[in-house]
Structure 1
Amino acid sequence: MAPKARTKNPLLPFSIGILLLLSLIAFFATESSYNIISDWSLWVRTYFGYFYLYLGLACVFFLLIIAFSPIGKIKLGKEDAKPEYSLWSWIAMLYSAGMGAGILLRAVQEPIYMQQNPPYASNLAPEILALEFTFYQWGFTAWAFYGLFAMVIAYALFVRKKKTLISETVSNTLPNKKLLYGIDILTILTTIFGLIAAVGLGTTQIKGGINHVFKGDFDLSLTIGLTTIIVIIAAYSAWMGVNKGIKMISKLNIITALSILVFTFVFSDIPLILSNFFSATYHYILDFIPMSLALGSYNPGMNFLSDWTFYYWAFWLAWAPFTGIFIARISKGRTLRQLLLGVLIIPSLGTFFWFAVFGSSAFELVETWGSYNNEFGNVFSSIFVFLENYPFAFMLNMVTLFLLASFLVTSVDSAVFVLSMFTDSGKKNPSKKHRLLWSAIILIATIALLVLGNVKPEIDVLTAVQKLLIITSLPFAFFSIFMARVFLKDILKKK
């Protein structure tokens, strides 16, 4: 890359330099770094947890108001523009980027945990309450955080003709270039941290699945090998671009996930699943406001909220800029109403049905066993333990392993594409050199993290990176309010 290009866009050298510095600190002062991250993460959740709850609820209602108001008619592009991607392709890409392997990680483990450890006393059956609370943590609020960033960025990109950068959403109101660069660098670093944690956790789950299925005892070398293969495939997908790479793998993900879902649904208690799905969804919508505010009897207590809801809300917020940029990038030709209702409702309902199928079936298994001895307590193996109770268990587990890897590929290729847009002056189709560079950085950083965790097993390095996202989510929480205000002011000024 020419020196002129580096000078023109300092985001690339600055972000890589900061990443290198933080990596060196983590390597030479691992224990101290872990303790600082843990303390700060807990501080954010303790003092800003309720603020996150209120912000999440406000985001949901803000997006619904925008969607159903005249503002919702605004087209992202020219008035006669058609959506760049079909509804099927669009949903496949946004869902793969927004949730991905997480729904496999928690499919059984979380509903069972909520059943065995109810968040609060309720007149509902433990199974319905467990599904309702799981829906709550994976539903409208998570997608509202994503949708807010997607809406504002898409408007800046396709209506105001701005570059694909988070800072561009407020550049007219906030002319300080250093502060704008700071916003973009924080977004880049948060995306990298989130991705490293996702790939590290995902490959660890795949290794756990392989060990469980084949009764083996594979070590770190398998995890590194899996990481390398996944990032190489993702690099090729990002190299091919959105149409030829990312879209095709996202479709494959959804088809494979639907196949596992339908198979499990058909070989389970269908009436029970449907009953639980509709009942839990009904109560979720009915209880959404008091749950979102943790009011009265709907308050699970500070410890539970800090370990679960606050943690999730901070995590969704930290992922929102990256996911929002990607969703915005693929939403050209849609109206704001289509974007917002599509992002809020379709993936949420799909997720609810997913958890209803796996959760209800797991409840049935526990009831059949007569006792529960934490068989589904391990997030890395719970889905594989569960599928062993179905016909063609070996094939099911192999398909699940494939899906885990495929979801990780989509997370990496979409992140590589977004990072490349950032560091290539906000271009919608960034240079392939940037795509290769970010793929290499992600691979090296993830392997380094896995090795560090293996060298220092007394410290949970992957958890530390996840907790780091909790810290970086705080500035995005405040920024999202400012960004929404600037967006609304700009829209109303033009009306």
Structure 2
Amino acid sequence: MNKKHEQGALREGVRLNRPVFFSSAIVILLLGVLTVLYPQAAQLWLVRVQADISRVFGWYYMLVMTACLVFVLWLAASKYGRVRLGKDHESPAFGYASWTSMLFSAGIGIALIYYGAYEPLDHFLSPPQGVGGTAEAARQAMAITFLHWGLHGWALYALMATALSYFAYRKDLPLALRSALYPIFGERVRGWIGHAVDSFGILATLVSMVTNLGIGALLLNSGLNYLFGIPASPHILTLLVIVMMVVATLAAVSGVEKGIAWLSDLNVRLLCALLLFVLVCGPTLHLFDGMVQNIGDYLSGFAGSSFNLYLYGRARKWLGEWTMFYWAWWIAWAPFVGMFIARISRGRTVRELILGVLLIPLGFTLAWLSIFGNTAIDLVINHGAQALGKVAQSEPPMALFKLFEYLPFTRIVAGITVIIGFVLFLTPVDSGTLMIANLSSQGGTGEEDAPVWLRVFWAAATTVVSIGLLYASGGDFSAMQTAVVLCGLPFSFVLLLYVRGLVKALAEDVDRTEGS
């Protein structure tokens, strides 16, 4: 967004939403300061909370994720799918190519690189059930990985984006989390109920961004260690966090039309190039076979795995550390990703948005996980690369770079991957910072973004919390993972309210149109 447009937005009345801004800012900065000052106590408390949530609410997470998936599939197939997210004859705000690339980049981020080889290897060597290191464990590992990254999570983004864009562009309400609750609470969404929803949405979004930032710092630190011997330490991670957030802030300040759209296009090209390199230089025929088998295993066991709580055996702890974490992470990401997708989806139909979100990024995601996961498992099970498996379980961020040792041009590819990781980190964080700033402001229209100073403030707050949680977990990922689980649970109730509000509003809209 250019300077003239931003000044116009301010003249139209974009201003600070004081209750939302101050309540969320105080809570977030307090969290960051306490974790910096009392890292050991913070870590103990976070670990205890994660265990309790997984034990008490595991069944609830499973039902919520599956219910949201069933709902968006029904919505796309129903008569409501043809409702346009805008005026009846309005054309899309972004071209199809730019729209799909921004869908992809906003929803995935650097986590795909981090987990691409590590997660399948970990499930293969330490499965929740059965003996690790076997052919059956390999099939189970890929099916579990597909479950964690598959349709369930993308359905949350589709639900959130559909609800927010419908009320913003069809009902002319602000592009804010509270707006989708209007059919339920009416004008009360302009009061404390709306302030509470937007404030907690900011908290969930920021913590999910912190997780993304922590993964990015760990991955880049491992890459620099692999290439140049730079040691992995909390101090190096802190420096990386600051550098990454400075660059992300500059991108966020430039706005959607410039920085974010350009970075999204670059991300897609770089990731496709890396994926094709591994496919061609790895066991190509084996990887094609693997993709077909993985999809079959995922679909054939879909219903059972969607409700599998590992009721008996030793897998309950595994469930909390993996599946429950993923479900909470998807929920925590849903406010910002859904709001960002809504921001770029004006003029699309409900059906087009849902199918686009469910199928376009998902196809690439599953291809990536299949190619990297099967390459890594094949090396361990068929080519004696036990060292790769040990690294994946003891030092997860290094697993990808260790994998490159079995492919040509190792150091060149590792260096390019560090660059890709840095660029891929930027898009979700700068778009997330922009959406948080928009949530803490009010006035204007759905296309107008918050002022620059507000984006800079939230970028700084994200940095403080990231550093605090890194020190709370001694420079690893555990405290950030627990914070995501803590924030994901309360926002899941808001998602269920969105389902109710969206159905009510769509029914009234379509009935009125058909009756006229």
Q: What TM-score comes out, normalization by structure 1 length? A: 0.92
Paired position in structure 2 for 1:389: 406
Inter-partner Cα distance in structure 1 for 2:309 and 2:338 = 30
Matches within 5 A, 1:471-486: 471-486=486-501
Paired position in structure 1 for 2:3: none
Q: Secondary structure at the match of 2:86?
A: coil
Paired position in structure 2 for 1:254: 268
C-alpha RMSD of the superposition: 2.6
Paired position in structure 1 for 2:441: 424
Inter-partner Cα distance in structure 1 for 2:416 and 2:407 = 13
The amino acid that maps onto 1:42 is A
Inter-partner Cα distance in structure 2 for 1:181 and 1:348 = 33
Q: 1:460 to 1:239 in 2, by over 3 A?
A: closer
- How many angstroms does 1:282 deviate by? 1.6
Inter-partner Cα distance in structure 2 for 1:244 and 1:160 = 28
Inter-partner Cα distance in structure 2 for 1:300 and 1:279 = 27
Q: 1:258 to 1:461 in 2, by over 3 A?
A: closer
Paired position in structure 2 for 1:467: 482
Which 5+ residue runs of structure 1 have no aligned equivalent? none
Matches within 5 A, 1:11-410: 11-120=20-129, 125-174=136-185, 175-176=187-188, 177-217=191-231, 219-294=233-308, 301-366=315-380, 367-369=382-384, 371=386, 374-377=390-393, 378-410=395-427
Q: Secondary structure at the match of 1:321?
A: helix
Q: Secondary structure at the match of 1:380?
A: helix
Cα displacement string for residues 301-354 of structure 1 (whole angstroms, at most 9, x for unaligned residues): 422222211111111111111111111111111111111111112212211110
Inter-partner Cα distance in structure 1 for 2:14 and 2:353 = 34
- How many angstroms does 1:461 deviate by? 7.2
Inter-partner Cα distance in structure 2 for 1:81 and 1:46 = 48
Inter-partner Cα distance in structure 2 for 1:353 and 1:300 = 31
Inter-partner Cα distance in structure 1 for 2:385 and 2:167 = 57
Inter-partner Cα distance in structure 2 for 1:307 and 1:439 = 28
1:440 aligns with 2:460: yes
CA contact (8 A) 1:101 1:404 kept: yes
Q: 1:34 to 1:216 in 2, by over 3 A?
A: closer
Inter-partner Cα distance in structure 1 for 2:31 and 2:237 = 23
Q: 1:445 to 1:477 in 2, by over 3 A?
A: closer
- How many angstroms does 1:462 deviate by? 4.5
Q: Percent identity, please.
A: 27
Q: Secondary structure at the match of 1:75?
A: coil
Inter-partner Cα distance in structure 1 for 2:314 and 2:201 = 32
Q: Secondary structure at the match of 2:158?
A: helix
- How many angstroms does 1:298 deviate by? 11
- How many angstroms does 1:479 deviate by? 1.4
Q: 1:31 to 1:167 in 2, by over 3 A?
A: same
Q: 1:298 to 1:361 in 2, by over 3 A?
A: farther
Q: Secondary structure at the match of 1:245?
A: helix
Q: 1:298 to 1:324 in 2, by over 3 A?
A: farther
CA contact (8 A) 1:200 1:462 kept: yes
CA contact (8 A) 1:147 1:340 kept: yes
Q: Secondary structure at the match of 1:170?
A: helix
Cα displacement string for residues 223-256 of structure 1 (whole angstroms, at most 9, x for unaligned residues): 3343333222222221221111101011111111
Q: 1:337 to 1:219 in 2, by over 3 A?
A: same
Inter-partner Cα distance in structure 1 for 2:282 and 2:17 = 59
Inter-partner Cα distance in structure 2 for 1:478 and 1:400 = 38
Inter-partner Cα distance in structure 1 for 2:215 and 2:15 = 33
Cα displacement string for residues 164-217 of structure 1 (whole angstroms, at most 9, x for unaligned residues): 111111134224421221111111112122212321231122011111122332
- How many angstroms does 1:119 deviate by? 3.4
The amino acid that maps onto 1:483 is Y
Q: Secondary structure at the match of 1:83?
A: coil
CA contact (8 A) 2:391 2:398 kept: no
The amino acid that maps onto 1:131 is M
Cα displacement string for residues 58-86 of structure 1 (whole angstroms, at most 9, x for unaligned residues): 11111111001110001111222222223
Q: 1:341 to 1:124 in 2, by over 3 A?
A: farther
